Chain A
């Protein structure tokens, strides 16, 4: 797998070759390369399994404030040249974009080491064996059905432009999700694990958690509608955190159409919006996140507190909106952590 993921030098050479074809006033190019492999199982047996290799490039060309993007995955010189010409032809036809911003020049990024050979060196047999860690238990039982998905991969993303910017990041990923249901159809449990390093995935622990939940949730009883104290596991809280920060765009709030609208005008930055025990932080360097240290435009992403002690610290400012509002552009939240407190799940229950 390693051989198919371009190194920093290979990605830079490809992007330079691509920009060499450009006749636009400004150009920004990127390459996105990945090799992924997966194994899927359901109803206690393997269903599908496969691998995919792909590399595509995107070219954005500008003439004044007119711009357009073309992408292609044919990397021959002739095709790249035509893709560049096509983006230039489209850009010339496109109306002017009044929100167009100058390209970002060279930036400094803190590299994130997120590429693990333990993940790239896997074979289909390794994934099948990992699936058996759950299937072995559920097949041997008389009351359990397993459905799961194991997906691993390596990828690289690089970005360059005619203002001299170059950014490169590569990562591996390993993700395992498992749903175990009881054969009577009344119990179901889900568990998952995710990390760039395959060796960090504990397949047995995931199986045990899903099985325990499936058996514990059998024969549920209906409750009356009303107000209850609800305790959510970390995964369920994480899903809500994602939703919350999906709406963290400053512009939508300033324009009056977001949960973060302040009725008197502007947005709720500086206001207490959640319980004081809640904080949300993005940090590409965090060993649990190891995410890309720049956004799609090449803007560096570093540690940032979005919510601290329940107070909204920051919304996401695009470069255009930041300039218009006299703020610093932030990039999006990306991967986020909500740190916990001292209470254990059992003590909360």
Chain B
């Protein structure tokens, strides 16, 4: 782990130099470019603290314990129109210890990174676990997992955003805003950069010692057009996915070049034709479909939800109980395959090892249209042993344990969940060309879904009427209603490999206390037949 003071020194010098000298920028970019594929080894001082905490947990009676010492830095730049609203840099470090005693969990976390403090947190975690014994019903059982002594991993970024000056970041956003504001009736534009650098160091009583580092980048922009008579306002948000990549991704997103187009969409929505309610064939772009996948496939196939562990907060699942669903539920057509993984390069949930030391694997949640698996952790995968045995597959965690930071206990979070490409290499335009009477939707919008993920309604960013295989004009106030299995079973055409692209969420909430997770969803465009469309602008 970088020493915080050293880091600040380096960053301070770097940003000052970068702001004044372009040649130096190149030199620093080369020096700071990470050596792929493994990350830097663990700092010996951090390792000592991890061992101190593990030892204290064992001495206090833990049957199993893991310790995480993490540091998370965030850099946010917010702008509106021609001005900077705020520049925020946050930096937090601390230690979280999880202990399993006689089948009951305890967790304690402290910001103080001293041997006494981390050992104290370990003892407190054990004491909490013991105190909870009186309320235990069934003991928690952890599946065995291989140990990984002294490994490291780093995400696939080329340019560390912390080597870029705030001046350059702000300049990029303000230039994009200026392009958007050139469009008639576009009165407001907000843009922001969300950048995260996360170092996590892990050790458990089974011998794993793991150092990891990842970077996440999320550029955002939204343009708002206001009707001259103030009778309407319309917003268009940028189609830029958050990614587990660095500054190079922010530049590739080409905010300046694309801002005018998004703004024109917002302005055009003011005069677009309100949709007529009815049933339409929908052609959904990956920039839209990722959210529908996230909400109607990602969440209901979290095993903790299906087993009632999120009943008091995030919700339950219609994909339950597992013994009535696995191998039986026809989620969609035979060409529908949904993969869970934490391995796609640049995806946000991609990681070398999860937060309980498991190396994640790729797995098919839906295989040939049929429910095939759930997202799992070491505590949960054993609940499905009967299924894995029947399939001749090993009973193992898929590596979906995640904590948002050192101060939060790890639990099951979503891996990247993606709709795999079809055999034929159809494009979005091919799907439109094959559609006689429909609506094409791009970009994610507001949505609503019930707690079982069964009934839902999704909007979007832009909507186009399709007639005779052609886009014939823009629509507004479009939202479609769905019942999850009916909707996915109505899918009759999907795009191929070259149309596959990522979307994702930077702030996906779950758990009590609430935790935020980042997750990507790869998708191809897809067509859905005869879906009920409502008009969200109707006032009576």
Interface string of B62-106 (1 = CB under 8 A from A): 000000000000000000001111111111111010100000111
Instruction: Flag if B105 contacts A149 (CB, 8 Å).
Output: no
Q: Does A244 contact B (CB under 8 A)?
A: no
A131 touching B224 in the complex, CB below 8 Å, given contacts A50-B409, A74-B93: no
How far does the alpha carbon of A44 sit from the alpha carbon of B309 in the complex, in Å?
A: 9
Partner of B84, one of A47, A72, A95: A95
Instruction: Flag if A53 contacts B309 (CB, 8 Å).
Output: no
Partner of B19, one of A53, A72, A73, A93: A93
Q: Does A337 contact B (CB under 8 A)?
A: no
How far does the alpha carbon of A181 sit from the alpha carbon of B316 in the complex, in Å?
A: 11
B residues in contact with A38, CB < 8 Å: 512-513
A residues in contact with B15, CB < 8 Å: 89-90, 93
A50 touching B87 in the complex, CB below 8 Å, given contacts A39-B132, A40-B512, A256-B187: no
How far does the alpha carbon of A49 sit from the alpha carbon of B110 in the complex, in Å?
A: 15
Nearest-Cβ distance from residue A45 to partner chain B, whole angstroms: 4
Chain A residue at minimal CB-CB distance from B452: A185
A residues in contact with B408, CB < 8 Å: 52
Instruction: Flag if B109 contacts A49 (CB, 8 Å).
Output: no
A45 touching B136 in the complex, CB below 8 Å, given contacts A79-B4, A95-B170, A124-B127: yes
Partner of A149, one of B127, B129, B231, B312: B312
Instruction: Flag if B109 contacts A50 (CB, 8 Å).
Output: yes
Partner of B166, one of A44, A47, A71, A90: A90
Instruction: Flag if A265 contacts B128 (CB, 8 Å).
Output: no
Nearest-Cβ distance from residue B99 to partner chain A, whole angstroms: 10
Stretch of A11-19, A80-88, A325-333 on the interface side = A80-88
**Which interface residue of A50, A73, A89 has the most chain B CB atoms within 10 A?**
A50
Q: Does A257 contact B (CB under 8 A)?
A: yes
B residues in contact with A74, CB < 8 Å: 4, 91, 93, 111
How far does the alpha carbon of A52 sit from the alpha carbon of B324 in the complex, in Å?
A: 39
Q: Does B466 contact A (CB under 8 A)?
A: no
Instruction: Flag if A50 contacts B127 (CB, 8 Å).
Output: no
Instruction: Flag if A125 contacts B131 (CB, 8 Å).
Output: yes
Nearest-Cβ distance from residue B374 to partner chain A, whole angstroms: 15
Instruction: Flag if A90 contacts B89 (CB, 8 Å).
Output: yes
How far does the alpha carbon of A290 sit from the alpha carbon of B105 in the complex, in Å?
A: 34
Stretch of B5-13, B207-215, B293-301, B484-492 on the interface side = B5-13
Partner of A50, one of B128, B138, B188: B128
Partner of A48, one of B86, B167, B171, B409: B409
How far does the alpha carbon of A221 sit from the alpha carbon of B72 in the complex, in Å?
A: 49
A46 touching B92 in the complex, CB below 8 Å, given contacts A89-B15, A147-B312, A179-B311: no
Instruction: Flag if A49 contacts B111 (CB, 8 Å).
Output: no
Q: Does A193 contact B (CB under 8 A)?
A: no
How far does the alpha carbon of A96 sit from the alpha carbon of B90 in the complex, in Å?
A: 21
How far does the alpha carbon of A91 sit from the alpha carbon of B77 in the complex, in Å?
A: 12
Chain A residue at minimal CB-CB distance from B12: A89
B residues in contact with A50, CB < 8 Å: 98, 106-109, 125, 128, 409
How far does the alpha carbon of A301 sit from the alpha carbon of B192 in the complex, in Å?
A: 30
Instruction: Flag if B134 contacts A128 (CB, 8 Å).
Output: yes
How far does the alpha carbon of A188 sit from the alpha carbon of B312 in the complex, in Å?
A: 10
How far does the alpha carbon of A94 sit from the alpha carbon of B188 in the complex, in Å?
A: 21
How large, as a class, is the contact surface on chain A? Answer: 35 or more
> Considering the complex, which residues of chain A in the window 133-183 have a beta carbon less than 8 Å from any beta carbon of chain B?
135, 139, 145, 147-149, 151, 177-179, 181
Q: Does A263 contact B (CB under 8 A)?
A: yes
Q: Does A97 contact B (CB under 8 A)?
A: yes
Interface string of B104-128 (1 = CB under 8 A from A): 1111111100000000000011011
Q: Does A55 contact B (CB under 8 A)?
A: yes
Interface size on B, residues (CB 8 A): 74
Partner of B137, one of A86, A87, A93, A139: A139
B residues in contact with A151, CB < 8 Å: 512-513
Chain B residue at minimal CB-CB distance from A151: B513
A69 touching B87 in the complex, CB below 8 Å, given contacts A52-B407, A82-B5: yes
Instruction: Flag if B135 contacts A131 (CB, 8 Å).
Output: yes
A residues in contact with B86, CB < 8 Å: 67-69
Nearest-Cβ distance from residue A191 to partner chain B, whole angstroms: 10
Q: Does A104 contact B (CB under 8 A)?
A: no
Interface string of B231-266 (1 = CB under 8 A from A): 101010000000000000000000000000000000
Q: Does A202 contact B (CB under 8 A)?
A: no
Chain A residue at minimal CB-CB distance from B307: A43
Interface string of A49-61 (1 = CB under 8 A from B): 1111111100000
A43 touching B308 in the complex, CB below 8 Å, given contacts A53-B111, A70-B89: yes
Instruction: Flag if B84 contacts A54 (CB, 8 Å).
Output: no
Partner of A263, one of B105, B170, B229, B312: B229
Interface string of B296-333 (1 = CB under 8 A from A): 00000000000111111100100010000000000000
Instruction: Flag if A265 contacts B167 (CB, 8 Å).
Output: no
Instruction: Flag if B131 contacts A97 (CB, 8 Å).
Output: no
Instruction: Flag if B308 contacts A85 (CB, 8 Å).
Output: no
A residues in contact with B82, CB < 8 Å: 98
Partner of B108, one of A52, A55, A70, A131: A52
Q: Does B54 contact A (CB under 8 A)?
A: no
Instruction: Flag if B226 contacts A71 (CB, 8 Å).
Output: no
Q: Does B32 contact A (CB under 8 A)?
A: no
How far does the alpha carbon of A46 sit from the alpha carbon of B103 in the complex, in Å?
A: 10
A residues in contact with B4, CB < 8 Å: 72, 74, 79, 82
Partner of B89, one of A41, A87, A261: A87
How far does the alpha carbon of A220 sit from the alpha carbon of B477 in the complex, in Å?
A: 32
Q: Does A129 contact B (CB under 8 A)?
A: yes
Instruction: Flag if B108 contacts A85 (CB, 8 Å).
Output: no
Instruction: Flag if A123 contacts B8 (CB, 8 Å).
Output: no
Chain A residue at minimal CB-CB distance from B108: A51
Q: Does B397 contact A (CB under 8 A)?
A: no
Nearest-Cβ distance from residue A321 to partner chain B, whole angstroms: 13
Nearest-Cβ distance from residue A256 to partner chain B, whole angstroms: 4
How far does the alpha carbon of A201 sit from the alpha carbon of B303 in the complex, in Å?
A: 32
> Considering the complex, which residues of chain B in the window 411-427 have a beta carbon less than 8 Å from any beta carbon of chain A?
411
Q: Does A9 contact B (CB under 8 A)?
A: no
How far does the alpha carbon of A85 sit from the alpha carbon of B8 in the complex, in Å?
A: 9
How far does the alpha carbon of A281 sit from the alpha carbon of B513 in the complex, in Å?
A: 28
Instruction: Flag if B308 contacts A147 (CB, 8 Å).
Output: yes
Q: Does B165 contact A (CB under 8 A)?
A: yes
Given A49-B105, A129-B134, A261-B233, 10 other A-B residues pairs in contact with their CB atoms under 8 A: A42-B309, A50-B106, A50-B109, A67-B86, A72-B91, A73-B92, A85-B12, A95-B170, A97-B84, A181-B308
23 A-B contact pairs sorted by A residue (CB < 8 Å): A39-B135, A42-B308, A45-B138, A49-B128, A50-B409, A67-B87, A71-B92, A72-B91, A79-B5, A85-B8, A85-B12, A86-B11, A89-B16, A93-B15, A93-B19, A94-B84, A94-B170, A97-B85, A99-B83, A125-B131, A147-B309, A177-B313, A263-B229
8 A-B pairs with least C-beta separation? A50-B107, A45-B137, A124-B131, A147-B311, A147-B312, A68-B87, A149-B512, A179-B312
